[in-house]
Amino acid sequence: MRIMPQIVNLGLYDAALVHKNMFSTKLRKVSLYEIELAVEDGGCSYIGSRKFQISKGCVICAKPGQVRHTDLPYKCYYIHVIIEDEALLSTLNTLPDFYTPSDPAKLEKAFRDLIAEHTFPDRNLGISVEIKLLEILSMLIKDARMNPQNAAQQHRNAEFLRQALDFIDKNYTRSITLDDIAAHVHLSKIYFHNLFAAATGQTPHNYLLSKRISAVKFLLTTTDRPLSEIALESGFSSQSYMAYVFKRETSYTPMQFKKRISLLWDKA
């Protein structure tokens, strides 16, 4: 079942009205998807270490976990939206942070129509709002797929993922956390978590646990070491925690698993 995007806020944003007598907005971390269409030339937008000169018709797509700020002036149509659908998450995470759409005028009309429908809804229970939002997302995705910047972003994401998997594979026996993995690939924790989940179908934590469970299985079937040693060598903090996770993931206790493997060997 597909989960529809949830609009948190949208409208026309004019930084000059919000940040009077200021040259730049404050640095902040993005908590949801922020999709913006500039309606006039402005200052510069920054996401992480990247800088982009704002021009009329350009699109800015900031993702959860990214850090951003803007040099003024800046005026745009904007949509702040929560995305939970995994397929849509995977696609939106590959959109470039900045790019110029193929038809800015058409996209601007779509933004205005969505804002009008959201502000003055009819009696169709919000269905028109959802349809117009999906139309905008579809336009952005179609443009991004034709944009060479997107291929570069996908290449960067693939490299981030490769580095993360390599780091986990080499360090799963240590007490590493999501913060450690994200820091290793120089991404924010939220952005890395979403990128990893969209690419692999599992969270970084679940992947890390799967590596540790595999190590436990190997040591159970190839050695006679005590469970306390196996737990520490597999990256678990204690024998009891290893036993709990192992039973939860395999439906067997470690010793039940060891016995089961032995019985299978006897029958071979």
Domains of the chain, earliest start first: 6-151 (2.60.120.280), 206-267 (1.10.10.60)
pLDDT at 193 (0 to 100): 86
73 prior amide bond cis, ω within 30: yes
Is the pLDDT at 163 greater than 90? The verdict is yes
Q: With cut-offs at 50, 70 and 90, classify the pLDDT of residue 151.
A: low
Lowest mean pLDDT among 72-81, 102-111, 123-132, 206-215: 123-132
pTM over 0.85: no
In 10 A of CB 26, how many CB atoms? 8
**pLDDT at res. 199:** 76
Dist. CA 101–CA 142, nearest whole Å: 9
The per-residue pLDDT for range 176-219, each reduced to its tens digit, is 999 999 999 988 888 888 788 877 878 899 999 999 999 999 99
Q: Which residues neighbour 57 within 8 Å (Cβ) at sequence distance 6 or greater?
A: 37, 38, 100, 101, 104, 105, 107, 108
Mean pLDDT of the region 222-245: 94
Helix axis angle for 127-146 and 104-119, nearest 10°, is 160
What are the CA-CA distances from residue 4 to residues 81, 82, 193, 201 (Å)? 10, 9, 21, 19
3-state SS of the chain: helix, strand, coil percent to 5?
55, 15, 30
